[in-house]
């Protein structure tokens, strides 16, 4: 039976500003993906207790709904799996007040690197409740 990790935790919030919008007046996908990658990297660094990680893989990105100017969104992360040199998380971005899902990504894989930028074991096997 697979190990059960803690549920989705929402760590950061963003307010949608004019520079975050696309030509249709809704949240630009590229902007929210940059926020997700940064938030996931911070989350993984905290889980491992160290930096020197890189994004290796992102699964299908499910744009469920959108956000508009002035909306407050929050970005949640959940640990899915620890590998020898990797950690896999999933992400959900939702509207802060309605909890309506904006984006879901089921699998984001990060790899821990050594001083020569080669994958190296991180030695962590369970999530940190940070």
Domain residue ranges in the chain: 9-112
Q: Are 7 and 79 in contact (CB under 8 A)?
A: no
Q: Which pairing describes strands 72-82 and 86-95: parallel, antiparallel, or unpaired?
A: antiparallel
Q: Supply the pLDDT for residue 5.
A: 58
Among residues 10, 118, 103, the alpha carbon closest in space to that of 64 is found at: 103
Whole-model pTM: value is 0.90
**Count of C-beta atoms within a 10 Å radius of residue 68:** 13
Domain range 9-112, CATH class: alpha beta
CA 9 to chain centre: 10
Q: Supply the pLDDT for residue 6.
A: 59
| Number of alpha carbons in the 13 Å side-chain half-sphere of residue 41 | 13
Among residues 85, 84, 83, 67, the alpha carbon closest in space to that of 75 is found at: 67
Mean pLDDT per 10-residue section of the chain, whose length is 130 residues:
66 96 96 96 92 95 96 96 95 96 97 95 81
């Amino acid at each position: 039976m697979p190990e059960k990790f803690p549920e989705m935790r929402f760590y950061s919030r963003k307010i949608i500003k004019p520079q975050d919008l696309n030509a249709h007046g809704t949240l630009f996908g590229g902007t929210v993906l940059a926020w997700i990658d940064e938030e996931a990297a911070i989350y993984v660094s905290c889980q491992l207790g160290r930096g020197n990680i890189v994004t290796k893989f992102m699964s299908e990105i499910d744009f469920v709904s959108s956000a508009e100017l002035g909306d407050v969104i929050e970005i949640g992360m959940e640990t899915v799996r620890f590998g020898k040199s990797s950690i896999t998380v999933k992400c959900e971005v939702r509207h802060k007040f309605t909890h309506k899902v904006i984006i879901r990504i089921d699998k984001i894989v990060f790899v821990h690197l050594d001083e020569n930028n080669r994958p190296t074991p991180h030695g962590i096997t369970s999530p940190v409740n940070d």
